[in-house]
Amino acid sequence: MDHKDRFANFSAQNPQKWEDPSVLDYSSRIEPPLQGNPGAQIKFPDPLNELLQASKLQDWDPAAMLNNLSFLEQKIHHLRGLVHSIVGRRDRVSGQAQPYGLVAQQQQLVTADLTSIIVQLISTAGGLLPYVKHTPSTQSATSPSLGQFQPQNGGGGSGGSGVSELQNSVDVSTNEEHESKDEEDGEELGENLFPGTYEILQLEKEEILAPHTHFCTICGKGFKRDANLRMHMRGHGDEYKTPAALAKPNKESSSEPALIKRYSCPFTGCKRNKDHKKFQPLKTILCVKNHYKRTHCDKRYTCSRCNTKKFSVIADLKTHEKHCGKDKWLCSCGTTFSRKDKLFGHIALFQGHTPAIPLDDTKGSTGICDPGDSSEAVNKVGNMDMFNFSSSVDVKGSIDDPAGCFSPLNFETCNFGGFHEIPRQPFDDSESSLAFLLSGSCSYTDKSGED
Amino acid sequence: MKKQKQNNPFNLVAEEIIFIILDLLNRNSLAIKSFSLVCKSFYAVESKHRCSLKPLRQDRLPALLSRYPNITHLDLTLCSRVSDASLSLVSHSCASSLRSIDFSRTPLFSTYGLLGLALNCKNIVEIDLSNATELKDSALAAVAEAKNLEKLSLARCKSITDMGVGCVAVGCRKLRFICLKWCFGVGDLGIGLLAVKCKHLCFLDLSYLPITNKCLSSISKLQHLEELVLEGCFGIEDDSLAVLKHGCNSLKSLDVSTCQNISHNGLPSLINGALGLRQLTLAHGSPVTSSLADCLRKHSMLQSVKLDGCFVTDDGLKTIGNWCASLRELSLSKCSGVTDEGLSSIVTKHGDLRKLDITCCRKITDASIASITNSCKSLTSLRVESCTLVTREAFVLIGQRCHLLEELDLTDNEVDDKGLKYISRCSELSSLKLGICLNITDEGLIHIGKGCSKLVELDLYRSEEITDSAILAIAQGCPGLEMINIAYCKYITDCSLLSLSKCPQLKTLESRGCSLITSLGLKAVAVGCKELTKLDIKKCHNIDDAGMLPLARFSQNLRQINLSHSSVTDIGLLSLASISCLQNMTILHLKGLTPAGLAAVLLACGGLKKVKLQATFRWLLPLRLVQYLESRGCMFQWKDKVLQEKLDPKCWKLKLEDLMP
């Protein structure tokens, strides 16, 4: 399915689309545009070049830029957490129809916040435009990524139209956030190649997904790399042991000027497909493989540590696993941080958010309780009707509240007042202990009843 | 029965009027108790009236809470332990009325207990969790549920971190008072968040926290902050204090003692904005020079300055003398460098001084005392401990000129009977300390007994020449006496205790090392002084079990006792178990104490919180017993100090002087 179409559905508030796994993926991929955002790329094209530009341009303030960027980062991070929580909720109530109004409301607010982020991004990048204009000659050479918001056919756009072009490119980056990951790998596109100046190759789906791409013509054994195949071939006879047979085949053909090769995705409707009107080719076979797996395949690899994050490219999983669990600073909104000061900055910024204490911490008491006493205490906890868990069953339960104005960037009206983490613990051990809770005052059940 | 009701004249009196009477009686717990025991209606009225409760043991809580429905303040500090069950009971019985609860020094409750309390008692505004060293962040997350909380004390909660404080900051937006002293786990982030979220903070104690300048900028934005304590914050340095140039206009009291990295360079930025500053503590900090003193020249509201332990220069003191403020309180305790000249220049300018502390200012002489008494006629408190160069004649001046004195500390001085004769003119005197004053005799104290009828506290520690006639005069002349220390006054006999038994308010009696007193004297005190809460009869060799029995019978308010080196045995100790208040017991070197007897005593005294014992008993008592007692809330201190040789007080004093520079 076309990304554009999906996004259109997304904005058309088709509730069923929520169940689409690739939309779930949307939430986890909201972060990449941050890394791929044009502002960030402009900022660090090349240290030397930057120095040069800085001397030319007095009014460009890197500190202010950094400020803007970190603000944006925080906003996007937050929005991500929020969409994440929506997705989490979806998971929980999957199978039940969603109230149309609620979806629309959430949709609107998410879109509103996205828009505000985009506007912020543009104003940040807009401040840089004079700087961009000053370096038309160096820009394509030193920072290929800049091309992303240059028109395909033009070198340095004029200052006036720059903003609208920028807007365009930003839209691209938000709609097609999957691509940014490819760009991160270092295979950024956007060289100013005119259509027809390069050869387009399109591998078939099976070829892309095949574990091996090089097969022995004699025994049929498959290999991932041609070099390995050549090593293998040596076993089949002395004729394969000559230096010519062992040499890299490309070396021979390097003499004739080959047409630049670019690749197309076999998925119809994909922007990386050659039939797409805004076709953006992929640079290498590796790009094709990663793109296809990430965008058009199931996420088969689940992180064994958190059991929630899923990936279709095993390298992505490994990258994730390196950092998984290190985000130990947790906010009540579900957002995690790898640094404590970032968490506190987040909490200081938003109303109603509070640090979430890890569960294993709750077992601590102020001393050794004698056994009889502690069990008595636990019983009491179980029996006390004072534990009104209306908001504490799940943080997301309170997000359910359709009456509350739900704005992701302003939680003032959202009731997070409940006790978030700790009370869950005593009830974790048995289903039955939860039963009495769900009977009366629990707003979570009320809400799901309405659903 | 109806007839009886009509006959009771108090039925005609409105409840409000009885409440007012009870308010007046409130200071005397015995009177309130007697009132409630008169009849059923009085009992009911008293139950309705009482709003604060300080139970001794948690097992009495159910009965107490059902008897007193209107409790607003609950002090659990005396309970050796508080379980979650008790807390849930509290949170149910006082759900709406409870406003303040004090857990300081009370272990053994958990997060769940606190959570119930915070969720149920919606009107709770004050929680004291001091000394809960095991308290975790999760407990603070529970506290954060008390949305109306205004006052929170977390002193010495060593296990809490920024995360817990963050929860409190977000949850308790109405917080006005928070004490985080010795919470070593809390740093800039937590404090910064607290200052951002709790805009109404007016008291902030951050003593000994590893905070740096980073959080100070957010603290300086607090509009209502009146009192800031930064004692021992080594991370705060001069360099970046300049950021605070305009901050903290509302500040009234600032404590930066032991902040070694704050000097006269950084201090101005901290206090320049705070023109309303009334109280400043710079104890144990950088030297008090004229440049440091100069930063405070314009603070006209300044009333109290504490420079304890600082090195001061004459110039510094002279600059203080030129401040435009008129000080009410000045403390130069243990300041090195205080001379007659410097001190005189201060006291002549600040004639309005009410409190002056010149403890251990060893360079000052009679000249200082003369200028102090000459210019500061309205002094109410004067501490002159260990000013060794001051001669006996100077103390006459104190008595002649400062008639308003309420508190006078002359410990370790040359004061003699003539000095005491003049001091007895201070008729308002309530606290007099004459420890280690070797020149005073009965004659001087008889004057005191005649002149100072309002005396509440008298310290005669090691004032050796004192005999029974002095104590008789004091006991007769000072009926309000609450505390007396006659330790190591070797001529004191039972007669003194007999005289003291006529002081009904006596709460503390220290007669350590008075080897002449016997069980007979102790019996008289036990019978006469019903309020006795603290008793120290260490090294009173002639006191035995016969003295314990009357104590057990009559001193039902006794909380702390030291029986080391006395002749008390198992039987005497066991009888003490009938004192339900008894919490603190020091029983070292008791010859008649057996392991079995000790075990029985420890089991029988249900309210014990702290016991000092010889280390040998640690292995003689069953381990299970010790564990059980510890789980009951009793703490053991095992001492293995060898008996020290008896010191001659005079030679002991000389030794002290040798140590001096």
pLDDT reported for residue A192: 62
Please name the member of B91, B107, B137 whose beta carbon is closest to the beta carbon of A361: B137
Q: Is B497 helix (H, G, I), strand (E, B) or coil?
A: helix
Average pLDDT, chain A: 61
| CB-based burial label for B124 (10 Å; 0-12, 13-18, 19+) | buried
In this prediction the pTM is 0.64
Is B649 touching A (CB cutoff 8 A)?
no
B586 φ, ψ to 5°? -115, 115
Burial of residue B167, with CB atoms counted within 10 A of its CB: 0-12 exposed, 13-18 middle, 19 or more buried: buried
b/e sequence B393-430, b meaning 16+ C-beta within 10 Å: ebbbbbbebbeebbbbbbbbbbbbbbbbbbbbbbeebb
Q: How far is B382 from chain A (nearest CA, A)?
A: 43
Mutation site for A-interface testing, chosen from B79, B143, B163 by largest number of A Cβ within 10 Å: B163
Give the alpha-carbon dihedral of A435, A436, A438, A442, to 10 degrees: -160
Amino acid at B463: S
Distance between CA B50 and CA A409 in Å, rounded?
49
DSSP SS3 for B71: coil
Facing B170 at nearest CB: one of A354, A387, A421: A354
Amino acid at A378: V
Note the pLDDT of residue A263.
Answer: 86
Backbone phi and psi for residue B409, each to the nearest 5 degrees, phi listed first: -115, 110
Distance in Å, alpha carbon of B85 to nearest chain A alpha carbon: 5
CA distance A342 to chain B (A): 10
Q: Are B129 and B135 in contact (CB under 8 A)?
A: yes
CA distance linking residue B465 with residue B260, whole number of Å: 45
What chain B residue is nearest to A363 in terms of C-alpha separation? B111
Smallest Cα distance from B574 to chain A, Å = 26
Nearest C-alpha neighbor of A442 from the set A406, A418, A408, A410: A418
The answer to whether B185 touches B209, Cβ cutoff 8 Å, is no
**Side chain identity at B567, as an amino acid letter?**
S
- Residues A360, A424: Cα–Cα separation, whole Å: 12
Please tell me the predicted confidence (pLDDT) of residue B353: 94
Does the distance separating the beta carbons of B164 and A357 come in below 8 Å? yes
Per-residue pLDDT of B546-592, as tens digits, reads 999 999 999 989 999 999 999 999 999 999 999 988 999 999 999 88
Q: How many CA atoms lie within 13 A of A147 on its CB side?
A: 20
The whole-angstrom separation of Cα B198 and Cα B168 is 9
Q: How is residue A171 written in tokens?
A: 């839209």
Count, in order, helices (H) and strands (E) of chain B.
28, 24
Query: HSE on the CB side for A123, CA within 13 Å?
Result: 10
Taking CA atoms, B354 is separated from B29, B404, B455, B533, in Å, by 32, 9, 19, 31
Radius of gyration of chain B (CA): 27
Please tell me which residue of chain A has the smallest CA distance to B191.
Answer: A344
**Can you spell out the DSSP letters for B132-201?**
-TT--HHHHHHHTT-TT--EEE-TT-TT--HHHHHHHHHH-TT--EEE-TT-TT--HHHHHHHHHH-TT-
Residue B421: the pLDDT is 95
pLDDT of residue A74: 84
Q: Please indicate whether, in this complex, the C-beta atoms of B170 and A352 are within 8 angstroms of each other.
A: yes
Cβ-defined contact of B164 to A426 (cutoff 8 Å): no
Q: Of A340, A364, A378, which has the smallest distance from its Cβ to B138's Cβ?
A: A364
Closest-CA residue in chain A for B198? A348
Coil, strand or helix: which one is A243?
helix
- Its sign, for the CA torsion A240, A242, A244, A249, is positive
CB contact under 8 A, A366 and B132: yes
- Does A365 sit within 8 Å of B111, measured CB to CB? yes
Which residue type is seen at B554? F
Residue type, A430: S
Q: Is the pLDDT of residue A177 over 90?
A: no
A209, pLDDT greater than 50: yes
For residue A367, give the nearest of B108, B144, B167 by CB distance: B108
The Cα A172–Cα B346 span in angstroms is 76
Place of tokens 């006999």: B493
Question: Quick count: other Cβ atoms within 10 Å of Cβ A26?
Answer: 17
Using one digit for the tens of pLDDT, what is the confidence trace for A9-34?
444 444 444 444 444 444 444 444 44
Task: Quote the pLDDT of residue B308.
Answer: 93
Residues of A in contact with B147 (CB under 8 A): 417
Compute mean pLDDT per 10 residues along chain B, 661 residues long, and list them.
Answer: 57 81 80 86 88 86 89 88 86 87 78 86 91 88 92 93 93 94 93 93 94 87 91 85 73 90 82 85 90 86 92 92 90 93 92 94 93 93 93 93 95 93 94 94 95 95 93 95 94 95 94 93 94 94 94 93 94 92 92 92 90 91 92 88 58 51 42
Measured between CB atoms, which of B83, B111, B147 is closest to A373?
B83
pLDDT at A404: 35
Of the candidates A109, A99, A116, the one whose C-alpha atom is nearest the C-alpha of residue A413 is A109
In B, minimum Cα distance to A392 occurs at B145
Which residue is closest to B132 within chain A, CA to CA? Answer: A366
Q: Is A360 on the interface with B (CB under 8 A)?
A: no
Above 0.90 for ipTM, yes or no?
A: no
Question: Amino acid identity of B143?
Answer: V
- A364–B contact, CB cutoff 8 A: yes
B171 touches chain A (CB under 8 A): yes
Chain B within 8 Å of A370 (Cβ-Cβ)? yes
- Type of residue numbered A133: K
Nearest in space to A414 (alpha carbons), one of A333, A344, A339 = A333
Least confident of A160-164, A264-268, B635-639: A160-164
Distance CA B470, CA B468 (A): 5
**Three-state DSSP class for residue B62:** helix
| Touching A: B residues 608-637, CB under 8 Å | 630-631
**Exposure b/e, B355-387, CB count within 10 A at least 16 = b:** bbbbbbbbbbebbbbbbbbebbeebbbbbbbbb
Q: How far is A407 from chain B (nearest CA, A)?
A: 19
| Contact of B396 with B419, CB cutoff 8 Å | yes
Structure tokens at B328: 């009410």
Residue with tokens 């300086």: B220
- For A86-128, give the DSSP string: HHHHHHHTTTSPPPHHHHHHHHHHHHHHHHHHHHHHHHHHHTT
> Between B81, B120, B167, which is nearest A357 by CB?
B167
List of chain A residues whose C-beta atoms are within 8 Å of the C-beta of residue B139: 364, 366
* DSSP bridge partners of B73: B52, B100
Instruction: Compute how many other C-beta atoms are within 10 angstroms of the C-beta atom of residue A122.
Output: 18
A326 touches chain B (CB under 8 A): no
* Cα B409 from Cα B333, distance rounded (Å): 12
Residues in chain A with CB shorter than 8 Å from the CB of B159 are 364
Residue A311 has pLDDT above 50, yes or no: yes
Distance from CA of A59 to the nearest CA of B (A): 27
CB atoms within 10 A of CB A210: 14
% of chain A surpassing 90 pLDDT: 1
> Alpha carbon B409 to chain centroid distance?
17
List B177's β-bridge partners, or say none. Answer: B151, B203
Higher per-residue confidence, B200 vs A211: B200
Q: Which two tokens stand for residue B286?
A: 């950088």
Matching residue, tokens 């440049």: B291
Return the SS3 of B518.
coil
pLDDT band with cut points at 50, 70 and 90 for residue A2: very low
Q: Does B340 touch chain A (CB under 8 A)?
A: no
Please name the residues in contact with B399: beta carbons below 8 A apart, sequence gap of 6 or more.
Answer: B419, B420, B421, B422, B423, B424, B425, B426
Cβ-based contacts of B85 with chain A (< 8 Å)? 373, 376-377, 380
Q: How far is A335 from chain B (nearest CA, A)?
A: 15
Half-sphere exposure of B441 (CA within 13 A, CB side): 2
CA neighbours closer than 13 Å in the CB half-sphere of residue B446: 6
CB B608 within 8 A of CB B626: no
Option in B88, B139, B163 nearest A355 (CB): B163
Contact A377 B112 (CB under 8 A): yes
For B311, phi then psi, to 5°, come to -85, 125
